[in-house]
Structure 1
Amino acid sequence: MVETAVDSETAHAGEADPLRVGVVGGGYIGTTVGGEFVEHEDARVDALVDIDEGVLETAGVELGVDADSRYTDYAAMLDAEALDAVLIGTPHTLHYDQVLAAFEHDLHVLCDKPLTTDLDDARALVERDRERDEVLMVGYQRHLYEAFVEARGVWDEEGREPRWITAEVCQDWVDRFEGTWRQNPDLSGGGYLYDTGSHLLDCVLWSTRLTPESVSASMEFVDDEERVDGRANVTVRFTNGATASFSLSGETPCMREHVRMWDGQGAVALDSQDWEPSEYAEIDEESGEYRPRIEYEDQRTKADAFVDAIRTDEKPVATALDGLRVTAVTEAAYESARGDGSFVAVDPDDVALE
């Protein structure tokens, strides 16, 4: 195999060459996160693939990819281009096969959420990832939001452990994405819970480090086959006795997100609107609500975090195991909602942190 650029050194300063990235999917993730690589001083976008030739041309121009490095076939791009990494920004159910193909070419992978929509596939990727030297990072951007980093720090303090959690998110999802792949379960894997809801589950699981034990859910589906949910209410029980209640609606006129995590001393509160990074507050009985200063302008991009993980050999901010934990809870929620709403057990081997 040809030596990757990220492992080589320049002849002048001994610094690593720019990371050569192939973008898989020319839609929103491909162009926005791909654009972060274009702007990054230690990375560049060398290739692009999309099955739609119109999208391919538009995204290719936007990302500055030469016409002869634009492909309609993913395997052809991997075989033809000398890449170090791929950004996967395709519909959810395609992620597993595309990540595996990248693994076979010894590439670093930044995969948009969710990691997979199948629990066995998620398990397989976690196991394969443990055997590799390259980085697999999942695109859960709340791991980069200073508000959630602050919240995670609270629960890392000795003697503190969240016990009561409420989390809600809403947006105009049902009408906005009608007729798109996001409401085609063969491509999306489900509905609102597998789309925006995946971020909400992840931010709670990651911030608290709690281990899910069982899941109960009720859903309002927008299709007769009950595969695409527009609204969902999910309850998660954790091994420490804590509970989390998630409320998700894809039928509101604008986006709002609110998360509250309580223990016996107080709470952390995180609020967001219109996709802006979350605001943060701490609550306790004596001083009420306190809002520490957050340096929002210092927030890293996904490209920043991905390149940093490769350069430093440290774990990425969102790992394959983070992706597996979300998939395990999500799949249990769908099983419960399509049944009688009873609690569905989560396999502790899937969700226990290393």
Structure 2
Amino acid sequence: MSDTAVPDADETTDADVSPLRVGVVGGGFIGRTVGTEFVEHEDADVVALADIDPDVLDETGAKLGVDADARYDDYETMLDAESLDAVLIGTPHTLHYDQILAAFERDLHVLCDKPLTTDLDDARDLVDRDADRDEVLMVGYQRHLYPAFVEARELWAEEDREPRWITAEVCQDWVDRFEDAWRQDADLSGGGYLYDTGSHLLDCVLWSTGLTPEAVSATMQFVDDAERIDGRANVTVRFTNGATASFSLSGETPCMREHVRMWDEEGAVTLDSKDWEPSEYAEIDEDSGEHRPRLSRGDQPTKAEAFVEAVRTGEDPVATALDGLRVTAVTEAAYESARSDGSFVAIDPEDVTLD
């Protein structure tokens, strides 16, 4: 870690804070968009970039204002050559584990795009390692920042409320759009639509409800003969409190829509999104019908803002390594079920139990 690391908030004033020196690993969509959030943050500087594609390296490097001599075709070379405080990892899914470990070895803060990993043992290992570190590891599940899902999480945290029946669906034009992209190369993506956009859907339900999954059943339609890339999936999750969640995912529709319904004996919360906009929120109850609380979107932080805040305060990030492990555990169980006979696959309680 460099000498410009952001100090603890209790030991300094805002005027004394040196900008967080950030290196970006992967110059694709996440590297450009979240990297730009860091560029626009007054307490962060993007000072280095690594990508294996020279054209991407030049284009994203120019967009983020990274000097030509701080652009690298190898991320470990960048980590060794540059004085960094943190890295943003926006690479294909199966690369995350090794790249996070490399950052851990250099005592860097890490913001990694979802999923945390595509291997359950690797996810367990990262959770264990992260518990022994002072630095921040945040996973890029942005629905943790959406006021609608924060509101839902607060409602289900109330002492007398607990969801019992959940339905969640998401769809988009994914199969055709990414036919020749890394997202449909299982060696890089780890799976198909469930491991890509579906990861967000699983996460938002697990995080906002706080429920503990115990078993998963799934059926999938694969777009490849090896049955590694799913284009459509139907997943049922059974929770320890007796609740169930039904997830329906399709990567074969002309536009994006997301709908989540969470019911208990008193009513429900509904969350709806289109075209990647933050979700709209409503509550339903037997007496007053449906109503929409006024939510302030002006207070919604970016991923970079949430990450820098966690670094400065020393508090847990909004999406932790354990959140990532929980999603990986459910996802891997779903693929195991779908590739066999669709029967329920049990989940190890240690992988999904919240502290």
Q: Percent identity, aligned pairs only?
A: 79
Q: Secondary structure at the match of 2:188?
A: helix
The RMSD of aligned alpha carbons is 1.5
Q: Secondary structure at the match of 2:88?
A: strand
Normalising by structure 1, we get a TM-score of: 0.98
| Aligned counterparts, 1:294-333, within 5 A | 294-333=295-334
The residue that corresponds to 2:291 in the other structure is: 290
Find the aligned partners of 1:29 and 1:87 in 2 and give their Cα distance: 9
1:171-220 Cα offsets, whole Å, 9 max, x none, are: 00000000100000000000000000000000000000000000000000
Find the aligned partners of 1:8 and 1:261 in 2 and give their Cα distance: 38
Find the aligned partners of 2:12 and 2:257 in 1 and give their Cα distance: 50
Q: Which amino acid in structure 1 is aligned with residue 312 of structure 2?
A: R
| Aligned counterparts, 1:207-226, within 5 A | 207-226=208-227
Find the aligned partners of 1:343 and 1:8 in 2 and give their Cα distance: 46
| Aligned counterparts, 1:184-333, within 5 A | 184-333=185-334
| Aligned counterparts, 1:333-348, within 5 A | 333-348=334-349
The residue that corresponds to 2:112 in the other structure is: 111
Tell me by how many angstroms 1:294 deviates. Answer: 1.2
The residue that corresponds to 1:144 in the other structure is: 145
Point out where structure 2 has 5 or more consecutive residues left out of the alignment: none
* 1:265–1:93 Cα change, 3 Å: same
Q: Secondary structure at the match of 2:49?
A: strand
1:126-180 Cα offsets, whole Å, 9 max, x none, are: 0000000000000000000000000001101111000000000000000000010
Q: Secondary structure at the match of 2:327?
A: helix
The residue that corresponds to 1:7 in the other structure is: 7
Tell me by how many angstroms 1:5 deviates. Answer: 2.7
Find the aligned partners of 2:289 and 2:87 in 1 and give their Cα distance: 46
User: Across the two proteins, how many residue pairs are aligned to each other?
Assistant: 354
Tell me by how many angstroms 1:3 deviates. Answer: 3.0
For the Cα contact (< 8 Å) 2:19–2:45, is it kept in 1? yes
The residue that corresponds to 1:180 in the other structure is: 181
* 1:45–1:341 Cα change, 3 Å: same
Q: Which amino acid in structure 1 is aligned with residue 74 of structure 2?
A: D
Normalising by structure 2, we get a TM-score of: 0.98
For the Cα contact (< 8 Å) 2:136–2:317, is it kept in 1? yes
Tell me by how many angstroms 1:8 deviates. Answer: 9.1
Find the aligned partners of 1:129 and 1:8 in 2 and give their Cα distance: 18
Find the aligned partners of 2:176 and 2:183 in 1 and give their Cα distance: 11
Find the aligned partners of 1:2 and 1:130 in 2 and give their Cα distance: 22
| Aligned counterparts, 1:18-97, within 5 A | 18-97=19-98
Q: Secondary structure at the match of 1:21?
A: strand
* 1:300–1:12 Cα change, 3 Å: closer
Point out where structure 1 has 5 or more consecutive residues left out of the alignment: none
